[in-house]
Amino acid sequence: AQTVTQSQPEMSVQEAETVTLSCTYDTSESDYYLFWYKQPPSRQMILVIRQEAYKQQNATENRFSVNFQKAAKSFSLKISDSQLGDAAMYFCAYRSGEYGNKLVFGAGTILRVKS
Amino acid sequence: GAGVSQSPRYKVAKRGQDVALRCDPISGHVSLFWYQQALGQGPEFLTYFQNEAQLDKSGLPSDRFFAERPEGSVSTLKIQRTQQEDSAVYLCASKTSGRAAVTDTQYFGPGTRLTVL
């Protein structure tokens, strides 16, 4: 079974600075997808960024980018120019490509943004 | 259109009571998922529907948990004889079909926080 590990329970960043959240995963599959979701206190899970494993190019979405290292099974999220609205719980998630429907989530990282 | 909605947002039940949690997916979304999120943890998969067919229920923790989606739209997650360990946030997500990024994304509802006393 696939597992997702987020080793940082909590991170802090100064407003306008850059922060990187770590995620590692374990799988024997070659076709899969990786996601970062943001969950603010309202509990609404919002997709931040998505990466297909077969693509070598790292995904980017405005201030959010990933560092996808397939051989190392690492998928970190970099947030540039951090804003107060970025404060939330961030979850890394895995989905199998061949059989995949369900998401397998990590335990999450709380991100605090200081003004 | 509207996003995924769930009701009630909060539910308090006495141990042993039955509860029913409702999910209204985004109109036209064929896939619907239920997840359970314990306090301070990541969501864990419970079950998955494609239209009205329940294709995967491997995550349901016991036979007290039952989900249905009879007309391929609204879904209900029912928990019988609730126990304290059932206390969690129950999240519903839906997505359309296809493998492109825009169609592959699961859109989540705000969840129902269940507290069993």
pLDDT for position A98: 65
pLDDT for position A38: 96
pLDDT for position A16: 97
Q: Please state the rounded mean pLDDT for residues A83-94.
A: 97
Q: How confident is the model at residue B21 (pLDDT cuts 50, 70, 90)?
A: very high
In the beta sheet, which residues pair with residue B66? B78
Q: Please state the rounded mean pLDDT for residues A4-17.
A: 97
pLDDT for position B2: 80
Q: How many CA atoms lie within 13 A of B69 on its CB side?
A: 26
Q: Please state the rounded mean pLDDT for residues A68-92.
A: 96
pLDDT exceeds cutoff 80 at A100:
no
User: How many angstroms separate the CA of residue B42 from the nearest CA in chain A?
Assistant: 4
Q: Chain A residue with minimal CA distance to B3?
A: A44
pLDDT for position A42: 81
Of B45, B56, B110, the CB nearest to A44: B110
State the Rg of chain B over Cα. Answer: 14
CB contact set of B3 (below 8 Å; sequence gap of 6+): B26, B107, B109
Of B42, B101, B105, the CB nearest to A107: B42
User: How many angstroms separate the CA of residue A43 from the nearest CA in chain B?
Assistant: 5
User: How many angstroms separate the CA of residue A104 from the nearest CA in chain B?
Assistant: 7
Say yes or no for a CB contact (<8 Å) between A46 and B109.
Answer: no
pLDDT for position B101: 57
d(CA A72, CA A24): 8
> A–B: how many Cβ contacts below 8 A?
54
Strands A10-14, A109-114: pairing kind: parallel
d(CA B94, CA B26): 7
pLDDT for position A41: 86
User: How many angstroms separate the CA of residue A78 from the nearest CA in chain B?
Assistant: 20
Q: How confident is the model at residue B100 (pLDDT cuts 50, 70, 90)?
A: low
pLDDT exceeds cutoff 60 at B14:
yes
- Do residues B51 and B1 make contact, with C-beta atoms less than 8 angstroms apart? no
Average pLDDT, chain A: 93
Burial class (CB in 10 A: 0-12, 13-18, 19+), A79: buried
Say yes or no for a CB contact (<8 Å) between B110 and A46.
Answer: no
Q: Please state the rounded mean pLDDT for residues B77-87.
A: 97
Residues of B in contact with A37 (CB under 8 A): 108
